[in-house]
Structure 1
Amino acid sequence: MRIHIVDAFTDRPFAGNPAGVLLLDAFPADDWLQKVAREVNHAETAFAHRLPAGGEADWALRWFTPAAEVAMCGHATLATAHVLRATGAHEGPVRFATLSGVLVATPGEDGSITLDFPTAPLTPVDLPAGVAEALGAEPRAAFDTGPNVGDLLVELADEKTVHGLTPDHRALGAFSERGLIATARAEDPARGHDFVSRCFFPNIGIDEDPVTGSAHTALAPFWSPRLGRSVLTGLQASSRPGHVRTELRGDRTLLTGHAVTVIDGELRA
Structure 2
Amino acid sequence: MDAYVVDAFTDRAFGGNPAGVVVLDAPADPAWMQSVAAEFKHAETAFVVVGGSEDGFGNGPAEQAKPLRWFTPTTEVDLCGHATLATAHVLGGSQRFDTRSGELSCTVTHDGMVEMDFPRIPSQPTRAPDEVTAGLPGVTVEHIARGEFDLLVQAASATEVRALQADLDLLARIPARAVIVTAPGDRADIDFVSRVFAPGVGIPEDPVTGSAHCALAPWWSAALGRTAEGAELVGEQASARGGLVRMTLRGSRVGLAGQAVTVLRGDLSAG
TM range (shorter): over 0.9
Q: Runs in 1 of length 4+ with deviation above 6 angstroms?
A: 52-56
Q: Corresponding residue for 2:4?
A: 4
- 8 Å CA contact 2:193–2:238 kept in 1: the answer is yes
Q: 1:72-96 deviations in whole A, cap 9, x for unaligned?
A: 00000000000001xxxxxx32110
Q: 1:134-180 deviations in whole A, cap 9, x for unaligned?
A: 1112311101011xxx1100000000000011011111122232120
- 8 Å CA contact 1:57–1:102 kept in 2: the answer is no
- 8 Å CA contact 1:50–1:58 kept in 2: the answer is no
- Measured in 1, the distance between the counterparts of 2:108 and 2:182 equals 28
Q: Corresponding residue for 1:259?
A: 260
- Measured in 2, the distance between the counterparts of 1:262 and 1:75 equals 15
- Measured in 1, the distance between the counterparts of 2:142 and 2:128 equals 9
- Measured in 2, the distance between the counterparts of 1:28 and 1:115 equals 25
Count residues in correspondence.
258
Q: Which runs of 5+ in 2 are unaligned?
A: 52-57
Give the superposition deviation at 1:69: 0.4
Q: Corresponding residue for 2:207?
A: 210
- Measured in 2, the distance between the counterparts of 1:125 and 1:55 equals 45
- 8 Å CA contact 1:124–1:142 kept in 2: the answer is yes
Question: By percentage of residues, which structure has more helix?
Answer: 1
TM-score (norm. length: structure 1) = 0.92
Residue 242, structure 1, aligned to residue 243, structure 2: yes
- 8 Å CA contact 1:7–1:259 kept in 2: the answer is yes
- 8 Å CA contact 1:142–1:152 kept in 2: the answer is yes
Q: Corresponding residue for 1:88?
A: none
Q: 1:187-221 deviations in whole A, cap 9, x for unaligned?
A: 222xx211000000011100000000000000000
Residue 30, structure 1, aligned to residue 30, structure 2: yes
Over aligned residues, Cα RMSD in angstroms?
1.5
- 8 Å CA contact 1:142–1:155 kept in 2: the answer is yes
Q: 1:234-262 deviations in whole A, cap 9, x for unaligned?
A: 00000110000011122100000000100
- 8 Å CA contact 2:217–2:247 kept in 1: the answer is yes
- 8 Å CA contact 2:6–2:261 kept in 1: the answer is yes
- 8 Å CA contact 2:114–2:259 kept in 1: the answer is yes
Secondary structure at the aligned position of 1:130 is classed as: helix
Report the more deviating stretch, 131-140 or 76-85. Answer: 131-140
Q: Which runs of 5+ in 1 are unaligned?
A: 86-91
Give the superposition deviation at 1:40: 0.5
- Measured in 1, the distance between the counterparts of 2:173 and 2:62 equals 41
Give the superposition deviation at 1:227: 1.8
Could you tell me which amino acid in structure 1 is paired with residue 175 of structure 2?
A: S
Q: Corresponding residue for 2:223?
A: 226
Identity of aligned residues (%): 50
